[in-house]
Amino acid sequence: MKIISRRKLIQFSLLGSIASALGSRSSFAKALALIPTPDETEGPFYPVKDQNDKDADLTQIEGHRGVAQGQHIIVSGQVQDIAGHPVANAVLDIWQADANGRYRHPRDPNKAKLDENFQGWAVIQTDGSGLFRFKTVMPGAYPASETWIRPPHIHLKISKPGYRALTTQMYFPGEKLNQTDLLLNAKSTAEKSAMIAKNVGQKGNLPIYEYNIVLELLRK
């Protein structure tokens, strides 16, 4: 019987691990992607006045004839846990500025005109596979101070019993203001990558952005 040295065993083990990882690029990429989605500040403009219409189409308010101004877009994605399992029936609380950079909030100091046909706020749930989808407008940039212009972004709160609640912000690819945003640039390169959506195509004249979310389980 041939005896294999300890050194050879370690070499075989390492080679096996590398081969296994490289043998499935999708699995390897998925493992790298499943870091928890970074937290971000809620900001001062979370809705304070309840509204009847909080459905997944923010481009039109029930009872209004008009539609929201600006470029309409679709945002879709999946909520997973860090092990890659879909999180069904998670609640997504979504709010953002309109195409003019104005929030539907009484304390927004922006002097831009409020789009009265933009819903501004939605509360939706993931389906049985953790998938979600909503229609909205590309949010406008707006001044956070005299020297800081915030890039287009969407606020999200995601919650489900058994998981750590997450408040975050979704950014858009290719935006110049991303490079100078104080909040986004406080993040690591990996965190920034996780917070910037991907443009994955178009449906008619609607750009489609993909934004996947990873939640952490609550520790017992």
> pLDDT tens across 59-73, in order?
999 999 999 999 999
Catalytic residue at 72?
Answer: no
**118: pLDDT strictly greater than 70:** yes
Q: What token pair was written down for 209?
A: 């952005």
Read out DSSP for 43-109? -TTS--S--S--SSBTTS-TT-SS--SS-EEEEEEEEEETTS-B-TT-EEEEE---TTS--S-TT--
In a domain, 114, yes or no: yes
In a domain, 22, yes or no: yes
In a domain, 220, yes or no: no
Name the 3-class secondary structure at 125: strand
Catalytic residue at 153?
Answer: yes
**Are residues 151 and 169 in contact, defined by beta-carbon separation less than 8 angstroms?**
no
In a domain, 162, yes or no: yes
For range 137-150, the mean pLDDT: 97
Are 24 and 132 found together in one domain? no
Are 29 and 117 found together in one domain? no
Domain extent for 113? 36-215
Are 47 and 138 found together in one domain? yes
**Are residues 36 and 170 in contact, defined by beta-carbon separation less than 8 angstroms?**
no
> Dihedral (C-alpha) 115, 105, 47, 154: value to the nearest 10 degrees?
60
What pLDDT is recorded for position 114?
Answer: 97
Are 69 and 134 found together in one domain? yes
Confidence class for position 21, pLDDT limits 50, 70, 90: very low
What is the dihedral sign for C-alpha 128, 131, 124, 218? positive
What pLDDT is recorded for position 12?
Answer: 38
**11: pLDDT strictly greater than 60:** no
Q: Which range (20-29, 47-56, 91-100, 200-209) has the least confidence?
A: 20-29
In a domain, 190, yes or no: yes
Catalytic residue at 103?
Answer: yes
Catalytic residue at 150?
Answer: yes
What pLDDT is recorded for position 3?
Answer: 47
Confidence class for position 183, pLDDT limits 50, 70, 90: very high
Are 97 and 173 found together in one domain? yes
Catalytic residue among 104, 142, 171, 209: 142
| N-term to C-term CA, the chain | 49
Q: Which amino acid is residue 20, in one-letter code?
A: S
Q: How far apart are CA 72 and CA 56, in angstroms?
A: 13
Domains of the chain: total:
2
Q: How far apart are CA 80 and CA 67, in angstroms?
A: 33
Q: Which range (12-26, 84-98, 126-140, 141-155) has the least confidence?
A: 12-26
Are 21 and 126 found together in one domain? no
Confidence class for position 30, pLDDT limits 50, 70, 90: low
The mean pLDDT value of the chain amounts to 89
Catalytic residue among 105, 153, 171, 211: 153
In a domain, 92, yes or no: yes
**44: pLDDT strictly greater than 70:** yes
Catalytic residue among 72, 104, 155, 209: 155
Are 11 and 106 found together in one domain? no
Catalytic residue at 163?
Answer: no
Q: How far apart are CA 110 and CA 3, in angstroms?
A: 76
Catalytic residue among 102, 104, 105, 150: 150
